[in-house]
Homo-oligomer: A and B are copies of this chain.
Amino acid sequence: MRQSELYTKTRKTLPKDEVANNAKLLLKAGFIHKEMAGVYSYLPLGLRVLKKIENVLREEMNAIGGQEILMSSLQDPQIWKKTNRWSDKEIDIWFKTRDEKYGLANTHEDPITNQMKQYISSYKDLPVYAYQFQNKFRNEPRAKSGLLRAREFIMKDLYSFHETSEDQEAFYEKIKGVYMKIFRRVGIGMTTYLTFASGQPFSQYSHEFQTVCSSGEDTIYLDAKKRIAVNKEVYSITTLKSLGLRKSDLQELKAIEVGNIFKLGTKYSAPLNLTYKDRKGEEKYVVMGSYGIGLGRLMAAVVEVTADANGLIWPAVIAPFAVHLIELKKGAAASFYNKLRAKKIDVLYDDREISAGEKLKDTDLIGIPVRLIMSEKTGGKVEFKKRTSRTAQLLTQDEIIRKSL
């Protein structure tokens, strides 16, 4: 697209209350707009990144047999009363409507368990893997970390339904691998670790995926060799022993929780009476698991890990555009822009009539992985530079196209 037509612009002033680096950079570069503390809207560039993250997640969910659905944000108190989770004493971040006739989804375990009563009655109906991309609303007391802790955010939440705990555990192990693959694909695989965290009623530990980052809200103890970490909340001599870890091998680090997975057992199926007839004809409770990744938080984690002093740096897979084509002489890049578009290369074309200095500053801030410059100096050729590199090369148009396909 032509940058002259993009309605957002980079900005210098920021909302006074914004302190998180991820939100500051995304606001400056025109990816998001701040509505209120902890509430953000996605602008065209930001939504492009969000949709690319969504597509990576969708591919990985479909590959393991996930079926995509979309549950409502308004939720029925009657269901939550059955699981004893409607009270603000049980869940302290509830958003409820004034008449308390509706809760705003802070998660979807309870309604999906209730829904499955319609579709699961026999072992023949199991397993079921259902997932969605849907808003969660959480009235976080502190919302100072930008997209890392928003009061409204889109989550990819997967729910699994099984005959036995063994089946759920096998799927849970599989998901560990899928999650690491997702974090590798979006560019934070090297710094993301499987982490033991506090357990659920049906398991001693749950697992998180923690991305090491100085601005993280969590503290982990990492065994870098084994690529395993322990969340501070369960860090103790007993824990280390049970996991076969040694205190001397661990580093204390700040980290961002980018995903978590749970063995739910029959925590929801029992109170909501989700049962199935097993192979012997006996009525049993369905065994469940749930597996979450917050899309905005993942985007923010990528920003926190990859950005430099000049701005954002997007991994190619989730970049808003593949290349940023910048002309430093009016019209110099117009015909090459059309060539790139004809080849279906996703290009942002800076055709604005502003100074070269402003253009170069903006492209670093926006962080598209490849910068292409055409000017008086480059003739018909193109200056190619990666956002992460200090040096540029002068290449022919065909060479650029071959590199970009």
Instruction: Please report A residues at the B interface, Cβ cutoff 8 Å.
Output: 5-9, 11, 30, 33, 35-36, 39-44, 47, 50, 65, 67-76, 95-98, 100, 102, 104, 111, 115, 118-120, 125, 128, 130, 135, 137, 139, 151-152
Q: How far is the CA of A186 from the CA of B50 in the complex (A)?
A: 27
In the complex the two chains form, is A118's CB within 8 Å of B11's CB?
A: yes
Shortest distance in angstroms between A149's beta carbon and chain B's nearest beta carbon?
Answer: 14
Known: A7-B130, A11-B118. 11 other contacts (CB 8 A): A5-B65, A30-B119, A33-B115, A35-B72, A35-B75, A36-B102, A39-B76, A42-B70, A47-B69, A72-B152, A97-B97
Candidates B30, B72, B120; contact of A40 at CB < 8 Å:
B72
Nearest-neighbor residue (CB-CB) of A137 within chain B:
B74
Candidates B35, B97, B125; contact of A95 at CB < 8 Å:
B97
Q: How far is the CA of A118 from the CA of B5 in the complex (A)?
A: 16
Shortest distance in angstroms between A276's beta carbon and chain B's nearest beta carbon?
Answer: 13
Q: Pick 29 A–B contacts, CB within 8 A, sort by A.
A: A7-B125, A8-B119, A9-B119, A35-B71, A35-B74, A35-B75, A35-B111, A39-B72, A39-B74, A39-B76, A39-B102, A40-B72, A41-B69, A41-B70, A41-B71, A41-B111, A42-B70, A44-B67, A44-B69, A47-B68, A47-B69, A72-B152, A73-B137, A73-B152, A95-B98, A96-B98, A97-B97, A97-B104, A104-B104
Nearest-neighbor residue (CB-CB) of A6 within chain B:
B67
Shortest distance in angstroms between A346's beta carbon and chain B's nearest beta carbon?
Answer: 14
In the complex the two chains form, is B95's CB within 8 Å of A96's CB?
A: no
Within 8 Å CB of A5, what residues of B?
Answer: 65
In the complex the two chains form, is A76's CB within 8 Å of B118's CB?
A: no
Q: How far is the CA of A383 from the CA of B290 in the complex (A)?
A: 42
Q: How far is the CA of A76 from the CA of B30 in the complex (A)?
A: 20
Shortest distance in angstroms between A395's beta carbon and chain B's nearest beta carbon?
Answer: 31
**What's the number of copies of this chain in the assembled complex?**
2
Within 8 Å CB of A100, what residues of B?
Answer: 98
In the complex the two chains form, is B97's CB within 8 Å of A70's CB?
A: no
- Which of A11, A71, A74, A128 is packed against the most chain B CB atoms within 10 Å? A74
Shortest distance in angstroms between A81's beta carbon and chain B's nearest beta carbon?
Answer: 14
With A33-B118, A35-B76, A119-B9: A69-B97 Cβ-Cβ less than 8 Å:
no
Q: How far is the CA of A22 from the CA of B35 in the complex (A)?
A: 36
In the complex the two chains form, is A70's CB within 8 Å of B47's CB?
A: yes
Within 8 Å CB of A68, what residues of B?
Answer: 44, 47
Q: How far is the CA of A153 from the CA of B257 in the complex (A)?
A: 31
Nearest-neighbor residue (CB-CB) of A33 within chain B:
B115
Within 8 Å CB of A96, what residues of B?
Answer: 97-98
Within 8 Å CB of A75, what residues of B?
Answer: 35
Nearest-neighbor residue (CB-CB) of A114 within chain B:
B35
Shortest distance in angstroms between A70's beta carbon and chain B's nearest beta carbon?
Answer: 4
Within 8 Å CB of A7, what residues of B?
Answer: 67, 119-120, 125, 128, 130
Shortest distance in angstroms between A199's beta carbon and chain B's nearest beta carbon?
Answer: 28
Q: How far is the CA of A44 from the CA of B68 in the complex (A)?
A: 6
Q: How far is the CA of A97 from the CA of B95 in the complex (A)?
A: 6
In the complex the two chains form, is A69's CB within 8 Å of B43's CB?
A: yes
Within 8 Å CB of A70, what residues of B?
Answer: 41-42, 47, 50
Candidates B41, B120, B135; contact of A135 at CB < 8 Å:
B135
Within 8 Å CB of A102, what residues of B?
Answer: 36, 39, 95
Within 8 Å CB of A130, what residues of B?
Answer: 7, 44
Within 8 Å CB of A74, what residues of B?
Answer: 35-36, 39, 137, 151-152
